[in-house]
Structure 1
Amino acid sequence: MTQVTFEAFVAAHRRELLVHCYRLLGSLTDAEDVLQEALLAAWRGLDGFEGRASLRSWLYRIATNRCLNALRDRGRRIPPEPQPPFQPPEPSRRGDVTWLQPYPDALLERVPDDDRGPEARYTAREAIELAFVAALQRLTPRQAAALVLCDVLGYPLGEVAPMLDTTPTAIKGLLQRARGVVERHRSAAGGTPPAPGSAPERHVVEQFTEAFAGDDFDTLVSLLTDKAWLAMPPAPHEYHGVAAIISFLRTSAAWRASQGLHMRLSPTRMNGQPAFASRFVRDGFERPGGLMVLTLTGDRLSGMTLFLHDI
């Protein structure tokens, strides 16, 4: 294969490989770095490609193992905990996936969702949602790799085993443990969301936007499910339940008011979910506030993830 042919093939698959690395690492920044390393390794090792698997599968093997190497060699890089400008209420718990980052829907364009094999258990949409990616971070790296390769990409056991230098029996064991953990976390995160861009989704988002901008806490209470949660990576603070969430939002709103700030929300989409880029505005000047991703269940709001860095 010539360099030109290889580069053309890589260009056609770069975005899906980036999504793959993101799922395993939970961080877009880390995924971009590791993918660059993987593609360089693939180019250097192209002469050793023997054609026993497809070139696409070969690239997935290299990318997967580069992700596993990064997790093993570097460890999980925990970002520094930010200091809020106000004293937040006591959190319900402290989260353990503070490195989680959102994935812009713009990067999902041209990522094929029809190349998944018959073994796939998750739709392309389910497999990029924040709750799913966060659940993957709670697995061991090899469990996560086996689950993504088999249940997301649909590779059969016989193909995944050599990718991870093990046996189909070992892959079955990894899958059994991984599926249980992921399903427990996904069930706790909420139920079925409305279809992207559908009237039900737009209705909930519009209600939330108006209520949040106007500090209308009564409406926000009515939108939240009983088991709703709020997380804010890279801070570990998590608030679970309506009362805890509203307490945090009231405290945040009171601080903004004391500073003469109001928050401007610009709609976007992250991880296949409705989201907002926020900016603090005062006297005509603006500064970034971060990102907010909504998790919907039916016609209610079951989760809010506030990314405190401006991604």
Structure 2
Amino acid sequence: MLDGPTPTRRPAQARRMTSHARTAPNRDHFAAETEQFRRELLAHCYRLVGSAHDAEDLVQETYLRAWRFYGGFDGRASIRSWLYKIATNVCLTALQRQRIRVLPSGLSGPCDGPDRPPSSVAPDEVSWLEPLPDSWIAPADDDPAAVVVARESLRLALIASLQHLPARQRAILILREVLAFSAAETAEILDTTTAAVKSGLQRARARLNELEPEPEELLEPTDQRARALLDGYIAAFERSDANLLEQVLRTDATLEATPFREWQAGRAMCIQMLDAYVLGTPGDWRMIPTTANGQPAAVVYRRDGDGELRASGTVVLAPTAAGVSRVIAFEDPALVATFGFPDVLAD
């Protein structure tokens, strides 16, 4: 389910700081002790809330609170677990005011047939899951084990399933199985008992198994086969060639796109819908490869009435040895800037 290499944990003595009772905190000292955890805290907040932009705001709030209380930090816990306690509770408070974030497949079953264009959902009806650029959370030291853990725990299918867990169960599962905190440490972070943590983890595991009983074996985005599938998908759109999609998509592939309610299951249905309403003519689309959620992805541009290639959104693929099993498109022009690309692309 969430198996993977356990992150390296420093000995308790090494994690504790020798002098934490401060009356006049020093900003340079604070930054030196806390900045190294910013990327992993961003990934943690994203797992909890399912939005890259919300996660960024919540990490900022975490650091503001940490600075406010830094002078009273006494070192009874590691600085890392102290920051996770603040971040987790900031997220849980935010989740009390928010609807869960979903994908179209979380709203209803697949569409019977593409007899009409997909219908968009009003912004006030649904909160959509967002992709997370890998560049935001890539481990600074490029530790291979940390990279694998980060990728596997940020797959879009897993993030989508996590959103359907009650918030505290979600936090327990992430703290225990992704971040490898002990039951006692998790209880301390959540201000609860070890027994409550164990019970919550058991319920969270059972629910997650219902939502995603057999997680797929996805190819790493660095795998040549994964890159070939992404290149083929991009070529199919840029050439408006539905036949190319047959070489890329698995027979049982699914296709969904926010903010649209309908989604397709099965390669034939996916291609039929894309060919009828999306592909257009050669030159309408331009895509630039990137990675998101530990998966191959692309930022997407579409030619407008003036002939300019304008930001359209992003697409994330789930590559397997037999082909792409799932395509999730996010039609939100603002996401292109999130991935570090311009709003208008030079032709």
Choose from 135, 143, 146 the match for 2:172: 146
- Report the alpha carbon displacement of residue 242 of structure 1 after superposing the two structures with TM: 2.1
Secondary structure of the 1:289 match is: strand
State the match for 1:244 in structure 2. Answer: 269
Question: Deviations for 1:242-277, whole angstroms, at most 9, x for unmatched residues?
Answer: 2332232122236x34xx961111111111111111
Secondary structure of the 1:268 match is: strand
State the match for 2:137 in structure 1. Answer: 108
- 1:297 paired with 2:323, answer no
State the match for 2:152 in structure 1. Answer: 126
- Report the alpha carbon displacement of residue 187 of structure 1 after superposing the two structures with TM: 4.5
State the match for 1:234 in structure 2. Answer: 259
Aligned residue identity for 1:209: I
Over 3 Å counting, the alpha-carbon distance change for 1:184 and 1:220 in structure 2 is: farther
Distance 1:78 1:265 in 2: 26
State the match for 1:215 in structure 2. Answer: 240
- 1:169 paired with 2:195, answer yes
Over 3 Å counting, the alpha-carbon distance change for 1:155 and 1:31 in structure 2 is: same
Aligned residue identity for 1:290: G
- 1:277 paired with 2:299, answer yes
Q: Which runs of 5+ in 1 are unaligned?
A: none
Q: Which runs of 5+ in 2 are unaligned?
A: 1-19, 21-25, 105-114, 336-347
Contact 2:119 2:261 in 1 (8 A): no
Q: Normalization by structure 2: what TM-score? A: 0.76
- 1:46 paired with 2:78, answer no
Secondary structure of the 2:136 match is: helix
Distance 1:304 1:187 in 2: 19
Secondary structure of the 1:18 match is: helix
Aligned residue identity for 1:266: I
Distance 1:299 1:200 in 2: 10
Choose from 306, 311, 323 the match for 1:288: 311
Question: Deviations for 1:160-200, whole angstroms, at most 9, x for unmatched residues?
Answer: 01111111111112111222333444446x62122322221
Contact 2:236 2:242 in 1 (8 A): yes
- Report the alpha carbon displacement of residue 124 of structure 1 after superposing the two structures with TM: 2.2
Aligned residue identity for 1:300: G
- Report the alpha carbon displacement of residue 150 of structure 1 after superposing the two structures with TM: 0.5
Aligned residue identity for 2:224: A
Q: Output the aligned Cα RMSD.
A: 2.9
Aligned residue identity for 1:132: L
Over 3 Å counting, the alpha-carbon distance change for 1:202 and 1:129 in structure 2 is: same
Distance 1:207 1:184 in 2: 33
Secondary structure of the 1:280 match is: strand
- Report the alpha carbon displacement of residue 6 of structure 1 after superposing the two structures with TM: 0.8
Q: Normalization by structure 1: what TM-score? A: 0.84
Secondary structure of the 2:278 match is: helix
- 1:196 paired with 2:221, answer yes
Contact 1:16 1:112 in 2 (8 A): no
Secondary structure of the 1:125 match is: helix
- Report the alpha carbon displacement of residue 299 of structure 1 after superposing the two structures with TM: 3.5
- Report the alpha carbon displacement of residue 136 of structure 1 after superposing the two structures with TM: 1.0
Which segment is superposed worse, 139-148 or 167-176? 167-176
Distance 1:116 1:209 in 2: 30
Q: How many correspondences in the alignment?
A: 293
- 1:12 paired with 2:36, answer yes
Contact 2:286 2:309 in 1 (8 A): no
State the match for 2:286 in structure 1. Answer: 264
Which segment is superposed worse, 198-207 or 167-176? 198-207
- Report the alpha carbon displacement of residue 309 of structure 1 after superposing the two structures with TM: 0.3
Contact 2:119 2:260 in 1 (8 A): no
- Report the alpha carbon displacement of residue 206 of structure 1 after superposing the two structures with TM: 2.4
Aligned residue identity for 1:277: V
Over 3 Å counting, the alpha-carbon distance change for 1:136 and 1:87 in structure 2 is: same
Secondary structure of the 1:138 match is: coil
Question: Deviations for 1:78-112, whole angstroms, at most 9, x for unmatched residues?
Answer: 79x9xxxx952589xxxx97421111111123356
Choose from 69, 75, 90 the match for 2:93: 69
Aligned residue identity for 2:167: P
- The percentage of counterpart residues that share the same residue type is 39
- 1:309 paired with 2:335, answer no
Distance 1:169 1:236 in 2: 41
State the match for 2:109 in structure 1. Answer: none
Aligned residue identity for 1:42: A
